[in-house]
Chains A and B, each alone.
Chain A
Amino acid sequence: MSKKRKSSKIAPRTTAEWVSLVISLLLLAVVVSVVIKLWVSETTEPARFKIEVGAARNDAGQYYLPFALTNEGDQTAAEVMVEGRIQGADTEEISSTTFDFMPGRARQEGVLIFSGDPATAQLRVASFQRP
């Protein structure tokens, strides 16, 4: 980006120009090598989920159960639905939430809300779509 000087006469690059050129080339090299690394390491491992459940919080009679969802596969999943279920003796409570988007290796957090104590809640990914 040195049009100013080059238009009139083609002067040799100044130190400043060299420095910015070298920094630019280094940056580009990093970006291109990261992309190539992604390419080489690209696997077709399908989306696969892990759910870590946090500690429930009781607020005005409702239990807020935080969790973290990690996509351990490489492929992206869309509309990932997480479903939590509390199985009582004769009752069953189901709560669910949907993540719009889970790229490979990404981690996102969510909260499920129950009216019963979710100490025994079972969380699972019920469904997702391939984008």
Chain B
Amino acid sequence: MSNNDSPWRNELDDVMRGLAGAFLFGIPFLYTMEVWWKGNFTSPQRMLFALLLAYAALLVLNRAAGFRKEEPGPWIRTLGDSAEALALALVTSAVSLLVIGVLRVDDGLDATMGRIVMESVPFSIGIGVANNFLHRAEGVDNASGGKGKDAESHQWHDHSWHGTLADAGATVLGATLVAFSIAPTDEIPMIAAGLSPARLLVIIAVSLLLSYIIVFEASFGPQQARIEQPGIFQSPITETIISYLISLVMAMVMLWLFQLLRAGDPPSQWLSYIIVLGLPATIGGAAGRIAF
């Protein structure tokens, strides 16, 4: 891709990687009602402290990673980078709370701010870790050339069942690892209860998008290797969709296992619960495909 090295593309990549990191680390907190609950009656002083804490964590992460390289760069740059990461964490926190229907206009400004600020703390740390520790070294990144978009032009030649099974297995493992601790909690019925069908569609879209970003845009794992790995999963769009379906099946199995879903329950309940748990499951599945 000719525009891959443009500064705008680089900025976009940074945002994508931040988003991926925020959700990888933040999703268990997003599905923890105590975090929103406590956000409801957090005093403004505490909110400011939480923001400072998140900012300090980002400074430490950015600085620590800088020292691991030969040159940590000037402080002013670290301050700016950390501010960007914190802003991204706040936006991500607000959007994700909106998507799962936890933020409502009626709730009053202080409760709304409290929820956003509290949720942004784990998101910030996720962004800091993603930017500094999960991001591959620059040399490898360049060597692999374009990523993401290039993947679409990839022709999936000689099918390898081995690669396909490995991907499916990694998705199952990752989805189970992340979603198993969320499946038995009250958050699933609680979130699902407040969601309209349109909102469910939004969650499906967000799940697919995040899965795609984590695996193909965030430059975490061996991306180029992934793209070149043969198997019917290849073509990133196909892989993303099939992995989402696998994650939904895993979500269903876990919900059934924990008896949140029973045979007699109405189909709408099955559908909404599965889609709600499908979001963390997909994120776990995406992480699994990078990690395993």
The answer to the question of B205 belonging to the interface, with a C-beta cut-off of 8 Å to chain A, is no
Closest to B130 in A: A1
The chain A residues found within 8 Å of chain B, CB to CB, are 1-8, 10, 14-17, 19-21, 23-25, 27-28, 31-32, 34-36, 38-39, 42, 71, 74, 76, 101, 103-108, 131
**Contact, CB under 8 Å: A3 / B65:** yes
**Using a Cβ–Cβ cut-off of 8 Å, how many residues does chain B contribute to the interface with A?**
52
B114-155 vs A, Cβ < 8 Å mask (1 yes, 0 no) = 001100000000010001100100100100000000000000
Tell me, in angstroms, the Cα distance from A5 to B131 when the chains sit together.
12
Q: What are 17 A-B contacts with C-beta separation under 8 Å?
A: A1-B85, A8-B138, A10-B73, A14-B7, A15-B7, A16-B10, A24-B86, A24-B87, A24-B88, A27-B90, A32-B51, A35-B51, A38-B44, A39-B45, A103-B110, A105-B108, A106-B111
A16-B10, A20-B11, A39-B48 known; A104-B84 Cβ under 8 A: no
Point out the residues of chain A lying under 8 angstroms from B109, CB to CB: 34, 38, 105
**Contact, CB under 8 Å: A4 / B138:** yes
Point out the residues of chain A lying under 8 angstroms from B141, CB to CB: 4
Point out the residues of chain B lying under 8 angstroms from A21, CB to CB: 80, 83-84
**Contact, CB under 8 Å: B87 / A104:** no
The answer to the question of B107 belonging to the interface, with a C-beta cut-off of 8 Å to chain A, is yes
Point out the residues of chain B lying under 8 angstroms from A4, CB to CB: 10, 13-14, 135, 138, 141
**Contact, CB under 8 Å: B14 / A7:** no
The chain B residues found within 8 Å of chain A, CB to CB, are 6-8, 10-11, 13-15, 17-18, 37, 40-41, 43-45, 47-48, 51, 62, 65-66, 69, 71, 73-74, 77, 80-81, 83-88, 90-91, 106-111, 113, 116-117, 127, 131-132, 135, 138, 141
Further pairs besides A10-B74, A103-B111, A131-B41: 14, Cβ < 8 Å: A3-B14, A3-B131, A4-B138, A4-B141, A6-B77, A16-B8, A20-B15, A34-B113, A35-B113, A38-B109, A76-B40, A103-B41, A105-B110, A106-B108
**Contact, CB under 8 Å: B44 / A27:** no
Tell me, in angstroms, the Cα distance from A105 to B113 when the chains sit together.
13
Point out the residues of chain B lying under 8 angstroms from A106, CB to CB: 106-108, 111
- Min distance, Cβ A23 to any Cβ of chain B, angstroms: 7
Tell me, in angstroms, the Cα distance from A21 to B80 when the chains sit together.
7
Tell me, in angstroms, the Cα distance from A6 to B14 when the chains sit together.
13
Point out the residues of chain B lying under 8 angstroms from A28, CB to CB: 83, 86-87, 90
Closest to B136 in A: A4
**Contact, CB under 8 Å: B44 / A3:** no
A6-B77, A25-B83 known; A35-B7 Cβ under 8 A: no
**Contact, CB under 8 Å: A3 / B107:** no
Point out the residues of chain A lying under 8 angstroms from B18, CB to CB: 1
**Contact, CB under 8 Å: A32 / B71:** no
- Min distance, Cβ B249 to any Cβ of chain A, angstroms: 33
**Contact, CB under 8 Å: A7 / B84:** no
A38-B113, A103-B110 known; A31-B51 Cβ under 8 A: yes
**Contact, CB under 8 Å: A39 / B40:** no
Point out the residues of chain B lying under 8 angstroms from A107, CB to CB: 106
Point out the residues of chain B lying under 8 angstroms from A3, CB to CB: 14, 62, 65, 81, 131-132, 135
Point out the residues of chain A lying under 8 angstroms from B132, CB to CB: 3
Tell me, in angstroms, the Cα distance from A3 to B138 when the chains sit together.
9
- Min distance, Cβ A9 to any Cβ of chain B, angstroms: 8
**Contact, CB under 8 Å: B40 / A101:** yes
Tell me, in angstroms, the Cα distance from A28 to B47 when the chains sit together.
13
Point out the residues of chain B lying under 8 angstroms from A1, CB to CB: 14-15, 17-18, 81, 84-85, 88, 127, 131
A31-B90, A35-B47 known; A17-B40 Cβ under 8 A: no
